[in-house]
Amino acid sequence: MSMEGAAWSSLYRISSARSSNTKFSRDTLNRIVAFAVPYRSKLTLFIVLSVVAAFLAVATPVLAGKVVNSIIARDPATTIVWLAVVIAAVAVADAGVSMLTRWYSSNIGEGVILDLRTAVFDHVQKMPIAFFTRTRTGALVSRLNNDVIGAQQAFSGTLSGVVSNVVALALTLVVMLSTSWLVTVLAVVMLPIFLLPARRMGGRLAALRREAADHNSAMSTQMTERFSAPGATLVKLFGRPDEESEEFRIRAARVRDIGVRTAMLQWVFYTALMLVSALALALVYGLGGSLALAGQLDTGEVVTLALLLTRLYAPLTSLANARVEIMSALVSFERVFEVLDLKPLITEKSGAGQVPEGPVSIEFDDVRFAYPSADKVSLASLEEVSTLDTRGGEEVLHGISFRIEPGQTVALVGTSGAGKSTIAQLLARLYDVDSGAVRLAGTDVRNVTFASLRETLGMVTQDGHLFHETIRSNLRLARPDATEADIWDAIRRARLEALVTSLPDQLDTMVGERGYRLSGGERQRMTIARLLLAQPRVVILDEATAALDSTSEAAVQAALSEALEGRTAMVIAHRLSTIRSADVILVIEDGQIAERGTHEELLETSGRYAELHSTQFATDTPAVFEDEVPELGATQITT
């Protein structure tokens, strides 16, 4: 490596490395080794090639010195030609070895990235919903990008650098000392003049880079939130564009100022190393030339020392910073392992079975539940807080018991926060009960496989979330093997055929982020089409029409009638007219079942349900509920 390359490489490594005084355990190192085991043969060849490259790097200066001595000694031309051929052969071999080294480096590094990213991605998918409600998405994505790449550099960069630089330094010093110990010692003594202040400068550069990264992260977060469809709408409705712009400008201006300071520090760093190199080279030529004139050195040896000097400072500088690089890589591994060590609260039991075939009943047996505290489901670093919120663990469901027979519909009503959605989430096993049991067809949901549970149960939520993909991709999420005929059948039954056929790309139409290219009613019917395509035996509707106008709600309710036909259903709704024909209505208050019965039975008791009914129908337009919106309930269910 040339002195210019060494300068920029050292500058980058010092400034990009994360300082840490953490002491890493043997367990951490063992886990790192475990990731390297699949690549042990490639790593061995990689190290061998790095050693060969170091030998080749030293060979060229030595041969160059011999050429000079042969010229001065007026050796036969053939001798000089053969030396030139050998130099050319070394150069070709060096190029070949460098290419192979690069291939192994890339292969190992990218393989480690693949393994780490896959491990983190798979692990994160197993985390409970509570994890995602607390974690900042950007911080989590950073673990899959920045930290995984930082860990990968330990294999592809730091490891090879340490090995090749140690070998190159040892060989270079041996050759230089054997040539002239005096010149070598004086040249090496000059290095600390540069290295000590350079390390302090590198720390300042690292601090500036971290500050710039923080500001860039904040700007990225601001842009991501403000440039999304709901964020842009919120800013236009309630935001203050001038203040938003000023906040962004201040951060961007600080990044600009940091950029200027960084550029100047980089120039000083680079110039200082080049100056030390030039002074050392002048020393070699001056002292070496004097010794040559005195007959104590050959002229070729002076040339060899000068060429070797450029190959001495590069490994010395790199090795001086190796500890910082290694600690930086270990920090990256620690941050990746931190995510992998966060145990999922919901796991599949060994030997889990299937939900029995045929119609499915639902049973809640004395269910009690408290949402987990943050320390059980999250990390402070992922929430970007100094300390996790320790609150939580307060019971929100108190002895919930009920049963839905196959093909029946149960409706959950009550005030917001009473526990209705929590009950639905426990049935879908988004959380596990603290005590009691939730059963499908008589089998505890904790004793069935995730695959069987997903095949049995389908859920439509209020937000009707869609991915920024095509209509076809969003629907096939429920059933990847669905045919075109199956997809069109689900679209027709969800009352979407007219919409989809009117689109230029039809099933290949991109729906936009979160489906915002579609109206609210269209998004919701799309999620119902996805449910119909999945053909679950149990359906959960969690406020599936709460945010829709009367016209959209009528279309969605018609689609829901298709979805509920012949299926066991749990319906959560605030609009009581939509569930008045349910087989059983449960009134949930303060995490308990306050009342249960049919629509008529509950009205006759003049209790909480009757109060909700009278309040709602005193304020709502009857046409919205009685004339335009179909009912959900036993009249649409085949038992």
User: What pLDDT does 233 receive?
Assistant: 62
Amino acid at 31: R
Judge if 420 and 503 occupy the same domain: yes
Half-sphere exposure of 20 (CA within 13 A, CB side): 19
Average per-residue pLDDT in the chain?
76
Is residue 394 in a domain? no
User: What value does the mean pLDDT take over residues 579-588?
Assistant: 82
Residue 593 pairs with which residues in a beta bridge? 588
CA distance linking residue 459 with residue 353, whole number of Å: 21
Q: What is the pLDDT of residue 549?
A: 56
H helices present in 126-239, as ranges:
129-134, 137-142, 148-153, 160-179, 181-189, 191-227, 229-238
pLDDT for 160-209, tens place per residue?
A: 677 777 877 888 888 888 888 888 787 777 766 666 666 666 667 667 76
Lookup result for tokens 């139409």: 509
The C-alpha angle with vertex 179 and arms to 174 and 182, in degrees rounded to 5, equals 95
pLDDT at 638: 29
**If DSSP codes are grouped into helix, strand and coil, which group holds residue 243?**
helix
**DSSP letter, residue 588:** E
Please say whether the beta carbons of 532 and 494 come within 8 A.
yes
587 located within any domain:
yes
The number of distinct structural domains making up the chain is: 2
637 φ/ψ angles, rounded to the nearest 5 degrees: -120, 135
Looking at residues 360-377, what average pLDDT do you find? Answer: 82
Domain for residue 381, yes or no? Answer: no
Pairing of strands 584-589, 538-542: unpaired
Task: Give yes or no: residues 21 and 157 share one domain.
Answer: yes
- Distance in angstroms (rounded) separating the CA atoms of residues 56 and 50: 10
271-310 residue pLDDT tens: 776 777 777 778 888 888 888 888 887 888 888 888 887 7
Q: How confident is the model at residue 626 (pLDDT cuts 50, 70, 90)?
A: very low
* Shared-domain flag, residues 327 and 412: no
Indicate which CATH number applies to the domain containing 607.
3.40.50.300
Q: 91 and 181 share a domain?
A: yes
In a domain, residue 492? The reply is yes
Give the structural domain span for 586.
Answer: 405-431+447-636
Number of neighbouring beta carbons within 10 Å of residue 244? 13
pLDDT of residue 24: 56
Q: Lowest-confidence range among 115-124, 284-293, 455-464, 616-625?
A: 616-625
Please give the Cα distance from 515 to 468 (Å, whole number): 7
How many helices (H) and strands (E) would you count in the chain?
A: 26, 10
Task: Give the per-residue pLDDT at 472.
Answer: 84
What pLDDT does residue 89 have?
92
* Residue finishing a domain among 309, 340, 371: 340
Establish if 353 belongs to a structural domain: no
Residue with tokens 């029995």: 356
Per-residue tokens: 102: 């690069």
409 and 293 within one domain? no
Check whether residue 31 and residue 106 sit in a common domain.
yes
Compute the distance between CA of residue 406 and CA of residue 422 in angstroms, rounded to an integer. Answer: 22
CATH assignment of the domain containing 133: 1.20.1560.10
The 3-state DSSP class for residue 440 equals strand
Can you give the pLDDT at residue 392? 62
* Angle formed at CA 457 by CA 456 and CA 461, multiple of 5 degrees: 165
89: left (phi over 0), alpha (psi -120 to 50) or beta: alpha
Q: Do residue 419 and residue 307 come from a single domain?
A: no
* N residues, the chain: 639
Same structural domain, 458 and 540: yes
Token duo for residue 374: 């943050």
Q: What share of the chain has pLDDT > 90, as a percent?
A: 1
**In this structure, are 277 and 152 located in the same domain?**
yes
